[in-house]
Structure 1
Amino acid sequence: MILKFYVVDDDISIIRILENIIEDKNLGEVIGYSLGGEKCVQDIILKKPDIVIIDLLMPEKDGIDIVKEIKEIREDIKFIMISQVSSKDMIAKAYMQGIEFFINKPINIIEVVGVINNVKEKIEMGKTLISIKNMFSELNLSKYNARNDSNISNIRFILSKLGIAGEMGSKDIMMVCEYLISKGEKNLNYKISEICKILSDNPKAMEQRIRRAINKALSNISSLGIEDYMNDDFLTYSNSLFNFEDVKAEMDYMRGKNAAGGKISVKKFIEGLLIQNEI
């Protein structure tokens, strides 16, 4: 890891000494320096160094104010402060603003090298922790997506068995199920119209498509029951996704025994899909 340094001091000779230490000891590279003032803040933010070595007392703006201003924008930049000041209050104030170490002038090579290596270890540890955190976040996201895809795949399979996988409303049904799964809901505790308002720019059209698809599913499952009353799919879905009385009414309507068919319940159908999905 090659560290990028920026040095701020109103004494150019101090800047040169620090540049020589950093380069001679292979601690990194100096990507910029400044004699202080307002412009150095903009330059540091633009160049994004890993470490800024900064003097405490400077004519236009002191080092503590510069650290504070930059930390509000870039918390990741580390600061090492150097000064002849021995005031404990000033040093404490500098640490409160977020510096990592305070080095007393005159510059001591061994002290500078030791402090920089300590800050380097802290930076590397921070990056390692971020990497581990991201790895677990990606792993959890991957598991969630895989689990979610599996859930939707199971629901799609059920809709296919009902003969409505090609219906436009089946996509809407899967969207509703996916929404409820993402919320950790197992029951349709809202009106379907409320969910459609969340998921669609045209909620009324979405709700109509869902109802048409479920009506077709009722017709298909009823036809299956007429053909084979003991069919596994008929036995499973006629009661779990519909009220069996409505399936029977639809079957009688198809046989010409009733003037009207059965009715659907969107709530029961969606809840039934979610339950069947967990079996």
Structure 2
Amino acid sequence: MNYFITDDDPSVRAMLKDIIVDEDLGEIVSEASDGAGINDALLINHKVDILLIDMLMPNQDGITTIQALRSYKGKIVMISQVESKELIGEAYSIGVEYYVTKPINRLEVINILKKVNERIQLENSINGIKDSLNLLNPLPVKRQKNTFRERNIQSAGSFVLSELGIFEEKGSKDLLNILKCLSLHEESSDSYDYVLPSLKTMFHNVSELKLGSSDHKDIKKEVKACEQRIRRCIYHALTHIAALGIDDYSNPTFEKYASKLFEYSQVMKTMQRLKNEDVISPAHTRINTKKFIHALYTETKKQMGS
């Protein structure tokens, strides 16, 4: 990934450069001490993937700089010690992807930049698949079409799971397999208003997909294990979203997913528990699995452009 760092404090720029280089997160292609010299042509010519920019600078602040950009399509990470929710909300509304607080915390920067890198990679993968689909001959056999659709929905699903902070969880593979099964099931459905199958059917189909032709006992055992993995995965997603809400109600990921994927009352309860530092296990947290899977499938199809 190519980075462009804009901050009026040379020590901050040096610290960010050290973090990026030490963690092998990419290459710093250029830097600036103010936003006045930043424009679309500069960023595009340097092939900048991620713009790190300070909110408050002496001549031209970060928000004004970002608002002036029209053609730059890379990701933007805002850096500032400002804690005003109004200003932070304004930054998110004009295209900022993430927010890094000052003084710089090394672990926070590493975590955020890894997430941004992962998101870019997923988007590139999705765009690559879409380009491949656009180049396809309109006369391929149906199985070829399904194969590309499966790849597409897996990539789009991976992107959504990444936003939910559960891409690396064990149950994420089960969720991706469920998305694939639902996509194939909807493709073969003659109904205009597609209705999701029962949870039991979903878990059974995914277990058969994983084990192949196994006996009934093995399938039954895998169904139970699959259900537990998915439940824990959803619990971690709930905790992740609740943590984002505690930090900032206007966080775009929180606003996008809190009420779509979960019971909003449960999100509020989880936020309160996190504030109180209460330790609550997944087994003692009410999870609406079908609501989550239904919303996840809908969001994944939106990501695909369906």
Q: Tell which structure's C-alpha radius of gyration is larger.
A: 1
Question: Looking at both structures, which has the greater relative contact order when contacts are Cα pairs under 8 Å and sequence separation is at least 6?
Answer: 2
TM-score (norm 2): 0.44
